[in-house]
Amino acid sequence: MNKILLIIPAYNEQDSILSTTQTIDEYNMCHSTHLDYIVINDGSKDNTENILVENDIPHIKLVHNLGIGGAVQTGYKYAFENGYDIAIQFDGDGQHDVNFVGDICKPILEGNANMSIGSRFVEGSTSEFKSTKARQMGIKIISAFIKCFTHEKLYDVTSGFRAIDRGLIQQFANDYPLEYPEPISTTQILKEGKHVSEVPVEMNERSGGVSSIRSWKNAYYMINVLLSIMIIGTRGSK
């Protein structure tokens, strides 16, 4: 049986982290599955740590805020050291639906992908939540840049709901981008000749907390992520 781990990065998620982990527990109970999970408390300044301790929720406490890249890489290190076959990034804010974990894992289990991305923008997705119009435009621009340098068309390129195989767990445990991790790491592995699939999922609006991408940072985010993709894209394939 394949060992599957959900990595849940959490920064100031006191309003949603308990309900997020409870949905996983309920899913396991109802489907007789055994999805493990680990919360990475990324230096939260609110009541997140107390909630995790009081409810005996498996977690790693980071003393300082490392950002999404550092938090998720901590989860990949944990997954590698504990022998997991598949690791899934799963947001702590209630946006991701555990009912689609099986769909995301399927391309990897069938040997058709090294990474599988849960997408709101591919055929078959009925997700009503697709983010703001401005972010959707930004996603399209990033998607076009990735295609330009990798010749692969992906649609939900900033989706944090994604699974990777054992080989990528080891790779990301050792080397993972601290900033803009989803589009940058995806570009990198496509340049390396690895296979990425997208599967339709539904997502929800966050149930609490604040997004890590703030509106006043959007222009800065776009410029830097596009420059990063360009740098990786012009390095050449391995």
The predicted-structure confidence for 48-67, as pLDDT tens digits, reads as follows 999 999 999 999 999 999 99
**Structure confidence at residue 124 (pLDDT):** 76
User: Would the pLDDT of 216 be above 50?
Assistant: no
Separation between Cα atoms, residue 157 and residue 87, nearest integer Å: 18
- Cα 202–Cα 207–Cα 212 angle in degrees, nearest 5: 90
Which pair of structure tokens corresponds to residue 34? Answer: 């055994």
Average pLDDT over residues 162-173: 98
Q: Which amino acid is at 205?
A: E
Q: Residue 139's CB: how many other CB atoms inside 10 A? A: 21
Whether pLDDT at 135 is above 90: no
Whether residue 129 is predicted with pLDDT greater than 50 in this model: the reply is yes
Share of the chain above pLDDT 70, in %: 90
Q: Which two tokens stand for residue 131?
A: 């983010």
Backbone angles phi, psi at 5, to 5 degrees: -125, 130
pLDDT band at 226 (very low <50, low <70, confident <90, very high): very high
